[in-house]
Chains A and B, each alone.
Chain A
Amino acid sequence: MAEANTGAGSMEEPESSWCLIESDPGVFTELIRGFGCTGAQVEEIWTLEVDAFRHLEPIHGLIFLFKWVQDDKPAGRVVHDRSDIFFARQMIQNACATQALLSLLLNIRHPDIDLGHTLNSFKHFCQELDPVSRGICLSNEEKIRTVHNSFARPELFELDTPDAPSEDDDDDVYHFVSYMPIKGRLFELDGMHEGPIELADIGQDQNWLQVVRPFIEARMQRYSVGEIHFNLMALVSDRQRYYERQIQLLVHQPSPLSHTERQAEIAKLRTFVTLEQEKKRRYRQENQRRRHNYLPFIVEVLKQLGETGQLMPIYEKAKKQAKEQANQEQACNSPKNEANQEP
């Protein structure tokens, strides 16, 4: 993995490092807003059946999350000569999510989406640089990093972190890869490679999603063998805005629909708007919880459960579960366990 932190501000200084953040549509959507970009949001999709997410179109790009595997050979030609494509090498592991998101945002030219000041400045600043330098600039880009880090969980406890090496370092390394159509061609944007990867041409009348589908399916196939977790997210236009616009059109513009049909359609769209508002509220709530330090609450809850005599039963139940789980794991790992187990 490109763990070169050159110029990234030494990892010893926590202020200049990037935190591990979760990857879910709420986080990504709020990240986008945090960057000052408007008109876009991220939705999770569970199927590549194009019809299943027609209602989300236009889909500007896809972000595919998977467990990173060491020898991932590019599925297509790595291009080095496209200065019109914004591509940055990934220099910091934890910045992965943001990097994948930006690889899409900084390449999008769509009337729905306004990058905003921060992203536009950044894009402009790095325009002439090579991918590695861009990666370094990104790692140093304070505004972006601050937004990214604002999605990290709070320190529940403050402790001396020992220097012991982390054994699981290579185990749970997840990686994001972006896919998007750029000027009639399908590209894979992966900061771990040296440049954008050209996958295929997109025909004039083709929906790019149909072109990307086999590539993603091939990947899923590969990883499902090892039962590797992955998920897929779509960068779409802001839904609420879209629905509101549709409502406006129906209200103010002549339409082939009958009056009743029109009213029904407007009502439906209004429901969608409400759902989107709900979603945003939920995202905000989730983020609030992510940032909240639950320690005092936990202690208070446990204390009160203790006072009401409920805590021991809960403990016993948890203990039972832990035993069951341990037994299960032993059963799975038995040959390995013989070496590890202590009498």
Chain B
Amino acid sequence: MFGRQSGLGSSSNSSNLVEFRAGRMNMVGKMVHPDSRKGLVYMTQSDDGLMHFCWKDRTSGKVEDDLIVFPDDFEYKRVDQCKTGRVYVLKFKSSTRRMFFWMQEPKLDKDDEHCRRINELLNNPPSAHQRGGGGSNDGDLQYMLNNMSQQQLMQLFGGVGQMGGLSSLLGQMNSRTPSSRNTSSGGGAGSALQTPENVSVPRTPTAPSKSGSSRSSSNVNSQAGEAAGSAGSSVDADASGKNSTTSTTTASESTRAYANPFQAYLSNLSPEHGAGRSLNIDLSTALSGAEAINQLIADPDRVKSLIVHLPESEDADADRKQQIKDHITSPQFQQALAQFSNALQSAQLGPVVKQFELSNEAVAAAFSGNLEDFVRALEKSLPAGATMGSEPSGNEKKGDAETPTVVARDENTDPAAEKQEEKQK
């Protein structure tokens, strides 16, 4: 039944066509909303044949995302540039909206397979479409429209600033329809629905039939009612190209390249002052001098472990301590540190940080974009019994942890964290 009363997507696992453990990060406009919860990405097909792409919180069991996906509306792919992590993105082809997911499966051998499967299902759903074109659609359509939640209707009809679904389909059918892109949020949804009588399950488009009059109504539900009444006809053949109508891509083709693609990303991401993120904390403002480093480089072991990450000096006899100091005070390092701070707070560094041997807490903090938590995590993960060179400061948590606190030790265990424990002797 299409309209599961409790809302779509709350299917039992057995009917999931694909599922895998993954966390979520949402990108809406320019803001990234990170999410470190344990989650599950899955896809199901409801009885009416519609495909659902869902994400649910494994801890609470709540389904947080339930998108109805139509063929060619979405693409699911690995974020290639993020070579250090298993991050995937669900790209909405007709808008700039994206949803990011990060794999939580302990083994990565099935990652590719999952990805392929998702794309398959997104674009070639199994043929549950016993109803093709023709009048028999009515009842189903009516049922469908009457039993969807408001949110689901919005999704279908292109509301909430989201393109896709029937609205783009409908936009295609009536060429005089203004671009569905023009409908932004909420109430605008109705105006996108021009020719409801042509609505049908958009499987393989069958023979086109001319649409009737176009109607616009601001009330989605009543429109649905009207739709149900008309003789259903199958989707116009043009529907197959439905995504091509509308769009102006909002992406300005940046004609400039940045030395550092990350800089480009940052410049797009940085919010206006005061907007979005509350405060952009730049660690480099507090680490511009080398005083803090003095303590570190007093320890020859620390010097060794730091110097390996620096380029070789021209001068073979260069004083290594001085070298480290010189790098720290250099504008190039300062800028890199500022970038790092910014990036971390933008919740984009989770996968990157993960590749270093830091505690799970630190990694989680990176995923959620919380610099303070990150700092705290680094202060916690102190080697057991190691001598502390510093005088106690108010924020010390030194005494507390013998071993690093880990967030989750089950399927989310990062092998690196285990290594870290061994390392810290």
Contact = CB atoms under 8 A, between A and B. Distances in A.
A5 interface: yes
Contacts of B254: 11, 165-166, 169
A300 B305 contact: yes
Q: Which of A19, A21, A152, A299 has the most CB of B within 10 A?
A: A299
Interface of B: 27, 29-30, 79-84, 87, 89, 96, 98, 249-265, 267-269, 272-276, 279-287, 292-293, 295-296, 302, 305-306, 309-311, 314, 327-328, 330, 332-333, 335-337, 339-341, 343, 348-349, 352-353, 356, 358, 371-372, 375-383, 386, 388-390, 392-393, 395-396, 398
B371 to A, nearest CB: 7
Nearest to B284: A318
B101 to A, nearest CB: 12
Nearest to A304: B296
Given A158-B82, A308-B389, A297 B340 contact: no
A117 interface: no
A284 B314 contact: yes
27 contacts: A5-B255, A157-B262, A158-B81, A158-B262, A160-B87, A162-B27, A162-B30, A162-B265, A166-B267, A292-B311, A296-B356, A298-B337, A299-B358, A301-B296, A305-B292, A305-B296, A309-B396, A312-B379, A312-B393, A313-B395, A315-B371, A318-B282, A322-B282, A323-B279, A340-B272, A340-B274, A341-B275
A281 B302 contact: no
Contacts of A329: 273-274
A307 interface: yes
A157 B286 contact: no
B395 A312 contact: yes
A309 B378 contact: no
Contacts of B389: 308
B interface, over-half SS: loop
A323 to B, nearest CB: 6
Given A158-B262, A159-B348, A306-B377, 10 more contacts: A20-B259, A153-B332, A156-B262, A162-B98, A298-B336, A303-B358, A303-B378, A309-B396, A313-B395, A342-B274
A165 B252 contact: yes
A301 B250 contact: no
Contacts of B340: 156, 295, 298
Contacts of B89: 160
B83 A158 contact: yes
Interface of A: 3, 5, 11-12, 14, 17-21, 92-94, 149, 152-169, 281, 284-286, 288-290, 292, 294-319, 321-323, 326, 329-330, 333, 337, 340-342
Contacts of B29: 164
Contacts of B80: 160
A14 B380 CA distance: 41
B98 to A, nearest CB: 7
Contacts of B371: 315
Nearest to B272: A340
Nearest to A152: B259
Contacts of A333: 273
A308 B261 contact: no
A152 B305 CA distance: 27
Contacts of A316: 395
Contacts of B310: 292, 297
Contact of B306 (A92, A168, A297): A297
B271 to A, nearest CB: 9
B255 A295 contact: no
A163 B251 CA distance: 5
Q: Which of A149, A284, A306 has the most CB of B within 10 A?
A: A306
Contacts, number: 260
A93 B390 contact: no
A319 B279 contact: yes
A99 to B, nearest CB: 14
B260 A285 contact: no
Contacts of B255: 3, 5, 11, 92-93
Contacts of B314: 281, 284-285
A192 B209 CA distance: 55
B257 A294 contact: no
A309 B286 contact: no
Given A292-B310, A330-B274, A163 B383 contact: no
Given A289-B330, A308-B295, A21 B250 contact: no
Nearest to A302: B378
B286 A315 contact: yes
A310 B390 contact: yes
Contacts of B337: 294, 298
B82 A160 contact: yes
B253 A294 contact: no
B262 A292 contact: no
Contacts of A330: 273-274
A141 to B, nearest CB: 16
Contact of A289 (B284, B309, B333, B392): B333
Query: What are the 3 A-B residue pairs with the smallest beta carbon separation, nearest first?
Result: A306-B378, A163-B251, A152-B259
Contact of A162 (B268, B352, B377, B383): B268
A94 B257 contact: yes
Nearest to B310: A297
Contacts of A288: 311
Contact of B336 (A295, A306, A307, A319): A295
Contacts of B379: 306-307, 309, 311-312
Contacts of A326: 273-274, 279
A310 B261 CA distance: 31
A106 B276 CA distance: 48
Contacts of A310: 292, 295, 390, 393
B264 A161 contact: yes
Nearest to B332: A289
Given A14-B257, A311-B379, A322 B306 contact: no
